[in-house]
Amino acid sequence: MTVTLCLHCTDRDAQGGQLCPVCARATLVRLQCLPELYTALEDVLAPSGGSALGVRGPKPTWPPLPVREDVLDLRLADGMLAPLESWVDAVREERARPPRGRDGSATGRVQRATAELIGHMPWIAVSWPQAGVFAGEIRDLARDVRSVISPSSASERGTRIGACPAVHEDGTVCGAALRLGHGERVVTCSWCGCTYPPATWVGLKVLIDEDAKVA
């Protein structure tokens, strides 16, 4: 049987598609997190300890100066928004669909772009030759934003949840470290690719505790 290697990680079987199941799931989770990460940038736009120039009252529409230029760069159109909309354009062109407008706020456009890319993910993972480049850029974009929001290495790795309790086909338990990254709402195993949305967290904790007792 011929093995088709994943265009992103280049070492796992893509099962006849372009991305292996692990990379496809990881890319999907990163896309789901990007709108919340974009919103979180606003909270760190003002330098730590900065004040609104002594003015009291309602929160202003724009953060007080000075601002963090690295955060501002990501919040501007050429930061997070431009690459996301460029990928939407590329997918639409490849699938012979009309171009999309650029109306609305930057926040709304980020949300719409990520939502559309999420909708295209089944096709991207299976059929698009650019899937590997796309997955890599989405990974880098999410990493860059997280590094700005939580600059320490520990924060970038996320909060450790425990060992992944997923059982492989041969009956062995995955056991890789599970971490919940800043702004994420789904725990994803970086090794086996299993995902754990919030609705499963109670059961996940039970499985992790049971595995820990056995170990």
What is the pLDDT at residue 129?
95
Each residue's pLDDT expressed in tens, for the chain with a length of 215 residues = 577 899 998 888 998 999 999 899 889 988 988 888 888 877 666 555 433 333 334 444 544 445 566 556 566 656 788 889 999 999 999 999 998 888 888 889 999 999 999 999 999 999 999 999 999 999 888 888 877 776 554 444 567 788 888 876 667 777 777 888 766 778 887 777 778 888 888 888 877 777 666 65
CA 23 to chain centre: 12
CB atoms within 10 A of CB 14: 23
What is the pLDDT at residue 152?
52
Distances (CA, A) of 203 to 71, 80, 107, 207: 37, 35, 34, 6
In degrees, to the nearest 5, what angle opens at C-alpha 200 toward C-alphas 194 and 203? 105
Can you list the alpha helix ranges (DSSP code H) found in the chain? 21-43, 69-75, 82-94, 106-127, 131-149, 153-157, 201-214
| Rg of the chain taking only CA atoms, in angstroms | 20
> The pTM is what?
0.62
Cis peptide before 60 (omega within 30 of 0): no
Which tokens sit at 85? 């909309």
Phi first, then psi: give them for residue 173, nearest 5 degrees.
Answer: -90, 140
